[in-house]
Amino acid sequence: MAEPMTDPSSTADPAAPPPREFGAGPPSAFAPPTPWRRRLQILGWIIATGLALLMLVIGWLAVTAPLSRSLRPIAPPSISLMSTDGHLIARRGAVIDTPVTIAQLPAHVPQAFMAIEDRRFYSHWGVDPRGIARAAWHNLWSDGSSQGGSTITQQLAKGVFLSSDRTMGRKAREAMIAFWLEAWLTKDQILERYLSNVYFGDNVYGLRAAALHYFNRAPERLTIPQAAMLAGLLKAPSRLAPTSNLKGARARAALVTQAMVDAGYLTQAERNALPPVRLNVRETPDATTGTYFADWVLPDARDRAGAVYGEQKIDTTLDWRIQRLAEAAVRRAPLGGAQAALVAMKPDGSVVAMVGGKNYAKSSFNRAVQARRQPGSTFKLFVYLAAFRAGMTPEDMIDDTPINTGSYRPANHGGKYRGRISLRQAFAASSNVAAVRLTQKVGVDNVIKVARDLGVTAPLTEDLSLALGTSEIPLIELAEAYAAVAAGSYPVLAHGLPPEERGWFERLMARQRAFDDDELAMIRDLLSSAANRGTGSAAALRTSTFGKTGTTQDSRDAIFVGYAGGLVTAVWIGNDDNSPLPGGAAGGGIPARIWRNFMSGAINEAVEDAPVETQDADLVNAIANISVETGIGNVGLGVDEGGMTVNVGPAQIRLPTDQPAPPADTPPPRIAPTQPPQGEDSGP
């Protein structure tokens, strides 16, 4: 009988090493490293690599960010603005002065800047993680306002050593340079260089130059309110410059003084007792030539320049030839004592010409951009677009009769009414009562929505008077809205510099929306009717012309906005004191003729100046305007393509063209036809 087999492992010595597998090599002669020794080796490599990188960074900083550069006040570039065809538009240089010394300034001066810009300046190492976290949290949960997390040291690093691009690489270099400055300069030295370099608006750089410019006093004598106002300018120096926006500068200064209270620099009682700051501007002679367009585009051009030394040439969208035509058209117009403004742009918003007044040397106030005036009937563009969005068409009928109910009862210009007419006729004749009835039908909110979609940012009244253009709007925003119709997409933003390359996210957020094809065709139909056979016929060119007139209450403003030949132009005339224009001027008069004379040259269509009494013969067929006198009172008569409408008091009779004529024995009424409208609006 065979013996049972046994497992060799069961009889092996437990202390013996396990058998080697077949093919395995001999055991190592060296013991494997212990875990702690392995960690020390890794740590040594990390330290060595870190030291090597540190030496490289120090070498790079010594070459690219020499401390000597921060010892000098920034001399910002002399900027030359160039037209698209290479002409010099204007040249601008900076106003600078000697640096300041912290020890010589009143304590409240640096405190004002630290309170609003970098409250932990004396405790951080150049980059403030707490400040970054606070700003990120605020920006995440705010309703649109934003905070920055950059320290004063970082702002100095960016202003002196870096360009103005907003990439992550630039932010990383900014942080490294901030650490470099903190390592080699004292806090006071950093603050001195920052205050001596920063931009304060009005082309003024540095605290000393700003104190002398706005208050005509040295920075060593600044009061708390004055220091607070200067500190507040740093957020948006071009927009908050007190010479052009004193209200905004004072509001921002109030935030600074409250921040000084929060930081412990002032008590609330001291802050409440501060008087409002007053300006004492010291004018600085400027040898450069000024233009309205140059003033408008300069803030963006300075941001675009980026570098801080040397002359910079910035290309703009202005067309030198077209600009000269615009100035000539305004100069030749019979304006008397009135002012005028003109802005012309391509459908994409590229401004090619801008006139902000009759004479820049006498008044640099830009009425094309800075002034807000009532647009009158040019605002009806938004009313009719809202109607088309609601499903209406140009052939739909509406009552052009007096409004006798409700608290708001507007009237047509001259008391002229046409009975029941189509929307196309109502727009061409610029009927006020029709626009108000349309606004009632579609809703004020929907009209405002259209205006906002097309780029209007000005406050708008939320009542029926909105339909007649009673809310004040800058002329350039009207041009943007009409440019959207010309382009077929909205919104269109006016710009004076060629667009920069944007990232995919920025392109996504700024993407335009296209008009509905039918709505676009209908509103263009109406604009063509108004410009060729309606109140704007004095502007009509041989090429396809689209536009709308506007005249405000008592002829205080007269406007024509339209487009032809790939160019969108808005023209305004009025008085700066808002007094009425003489002779009942209207948008279909001088503004339409300025528009036509300018546009004919701009798009190379030679035409003679339009006579004052020009009127398209088709107007009589399109918008008949007849008054009838009978023994029983006034009878309104409206004639259109479909027939005749007779209004006798509240009653209305419609006589289609195919209806038989009245019996021969019926005595005809005595008719006294009035003259067709001579380029005038029906109202505001």
Give the model confidence (pLDDT) of 22-40 as tens digits.
455 555 555 666 677 777 7
> Measured at the alpha carbon of residue 425, what is the angle toward residues 382 and 415, in degrees to the nearest 5?
90
Contact status, residue 619 vs residue 676, Cβ threshold 8 Å: yes
- Angle 108-117/187-197 helices, nearest 10 degrees? 80
Query: Which stretches of 203-284 are DSSP H helices?
Result: 207-215, 224-233, 237-240, 246-262, 268-272
Question: Lowest mean pLDDT: which of 202-206, 346-350, 565-569?
Answer: 202-206
The pLDDT value given to residue 238:
86
Q: Which residue has the higher pLDDT, 152 or 641?
A: 152
Would you give the DSSP letter of residue 413? G
What average pLDDT does this structure show over 40-67? 68
**Domains of the chain, earliest start first:** 74-94+288-316 (no CATH), 96-139+146-273 (1.10.3810.10), 327-499+513-603 (3.40.710.10)
Mean pLDDT of 504-513: 70
Predicted confidence (pLDDT) at residue 154 exceeds the cutoff of 70: yes
Strand arrangement, sheet containing 339-345: 351-355, 339-345, 567-574, 557-564, 546-551
8 A C-beta contact, residue 294 and residue 308: no
Mean local confidence (pLDDT), 322-346 = 95
Using the Cα atoms of residue 272, residue 273, residue 279 and residue 282 in order, give the sign of their dihedral.
Answer: negative
Please determine, for residue 503, whether its predicted confidence score (pLDDT) is greater than 50: yes
pLDDT above 80 (res 196): yes
Q: Is 199 helix (H, G, I), strand (E, B) or coil?
A: strand
pTM of this structure: 0.57
Which residue do the tokens 């900076």 mark? 94
- Over range 199-211, report the average pLDDT: 89
Query: Residue 628 forms beta bridges with which residues?
Result: 635, 671
> How does pLDDT run across 625-658, given as a tens digit for each residue?
333 333 333 344 444 444 444 444 444 454 443 3
Q: What is the pLDDT of residue 308?
A: 44
Portion of the chain with pLDDT greater than 90, in percent? 50
Q: Name the more confident of 212 and 77.
A: 212
Q: Do the beta carbons of residue 342 and residue 329 sit within 8 Å?
A: yes
Kindly tell me if the per-residue pLDDT of 262 is higher than 90.
yes
Question: Confidence band (pLDDT; 50, 70, 90) for 298?
Answer: confident
The mean pLDDT value for 173-192 works out to 82
Q: Where does residue 199 fall: left (phi above 0), alpha (psi -120 to 50 degrees), or beta otherwise?
A: beta
pLDDT at residue 144 tops 50: no
Label residue 586 exposed, middle or buried (CB < 10 Å: 0-12, 13-18, 19+).
Answer: buried
Burial class (CB in 10 A: 0-12, 13-18, 19+), 61: buried
What is the mean pLDDT of the segment spanning 80-100?
84
Please tell me the predicted confidence (pLDDT) of residue 49.
Answer: 79
For the stretch 593-616, pLDDT in tens is 999 999 999 998 765 544 443 333
By DSSP bridging, strand 79-82 and strand 312-315 are: parallel
For residue 479, name the pLDDT band (cuts at 50, 70, 90): very high
Question: Nearest 5 degrees, angle CA 657-CA 659-CA 662?
Answer: 115
* Length of the chain, in residues: 684
pLDDT at 202 over 90: no
Of residues 456 and 283, which shows the higher confidence score? 456
Residue 577 tokens read as 């004191």
What angle in degrees, to the nearest 10, is found between the helix axes of 108-117 and 152-161? 90
Angle at 72 between CA 115 and CA 213, to 5 degrees: 60
